[in-house]
Amino acid sequence: MKKVMIVTGGSRGIGAATAKLAASRGYQVCVNFHKNEAAANQVVDDITAAGGAAIAVQADVSDESDVKRLFSSVDEKLGPITALVNNAGILEQQMRVEAINAARLKRIFEANVVGSFLCAREAVKRMSEKHGGQGGAIVNVSSAAARLGAAGEYVDYAASKGAIDTFTIGLSREVAEEGIRVNAVRPAFIYTDMHADGGEPGRVDRIAESLPMKRGGHPSEVANAILWLLSDEASYTTGTFIDLAGGK
Ligand code: NAP
């Protein structure tokens, strides 16, 4: 069966590492991006230079019409989707809960939660054997923050990832007998540019010494777990989590 994957937020960080690893394992990959077209095109160029197949498609995952357009362009250009990585996510400046306003909460929950629901909805419509599809697998990118709470940094972000954990359990049970597996990874302290968005580019190095493994993680280490969960090796695994947080 042809393997077709959408990686949301594939233009950098964990998403870019996942897109490249997937392409090297025979997936045709749609690298979704929001604002950074040049970075997404670079990921596509890297994949094609290595002999793989990929396209870049702009879409804001929190926008319903963008998500519909994203999935229909993949239908047209690559064919039926077999794997979705719900990776796109944001956080904002570190602050305590009493300083967080409603506009920020909306942005966080729309990008992280609404976006994942909308993309999963479109994937299920296409993959479900109930709808004539061939099955498939979804991996949601949650965070260890869902367990740890991110106190003093971004409790809003952590709570949005808590929602992703519950979403993973619920959706996995809803579609388990329709040929779709749904799992999640819960990374933390991974070297990406996301920490700069929170106002602390050196955050991983600051925390590394306090982790059981005494080091931060790399996007490729998260990508390896995502690809395993999507693979046939994980054929009896659904509704579960792999933590990638250096033992924390
Ligand atoms: P990152 O380097 O900041 O990359 C985020 C990606 O998401 C970018 O490609 C960005 O696209 C895309 N994106 C953001 N908002 C979007 C939207 N509305 N629609 C579509 N794409 C959007 O982040 P990362 O560190 O790789 O994190 C990836 C995922 O892992 C996130 O869900 C994050 O919460 C989770 N995570 C990361 C860590 C960590 O330590 N880094 C820990 C736990 C969980 P553009 O650049 O094109 O705008």
Please report, for the chain, the start and end positions of each structural domain, with discontinuous segments joined by +: 4-244
CATH architecture of the domain formed by 4-244: 3-Layer(aba) Sandwich (3.40)
Nearest Cα residue to atom 6 of ligand 1 = 9
Pairing of strands 83-86, 136-141: parallel
At 133-151, the pLDDT tens digits run 999 999 999 999 999 999 9
Indicate if 157 belongs to the active site. Answer: yes
Catalytic residue (choose from 27, 154, 157, 236): 157
**pTM summary value:** 0.98
Residue ranges for the chain with pLDDT beneath 70: none
CB 25 within 8 A of CB 47: no
Q: Note the pLDDT of residue 1.
A: 80
Residue 103: both structure tokens together: 């506009």
* Closest to 46 (Cα-Cα) out of 62, 68, 23, 66: 23
Q: What is the DSSP string of 57-74?
A: EE--TTSHHHHHHHHHHH
CA distances from 22 to 47, 197, 211, 216 (A): 10, 27, 29, 23
**76-127, pLDDT tens digit by residue?**
999 999 999 999 999 999 999 999 999 999 999 999 999 999 999 999 999 9
- pLDDT score of 15: 99
Name every protein residue with a CB atom under 6 angstroms from any ligand 1 atom: 8-9, 11-15, 32-36, 60-62, 87-90, 111, 115, 141, 143, 187-190, 192-194, 197
CA of 244 from ligand 1 middle (Å) equals 16
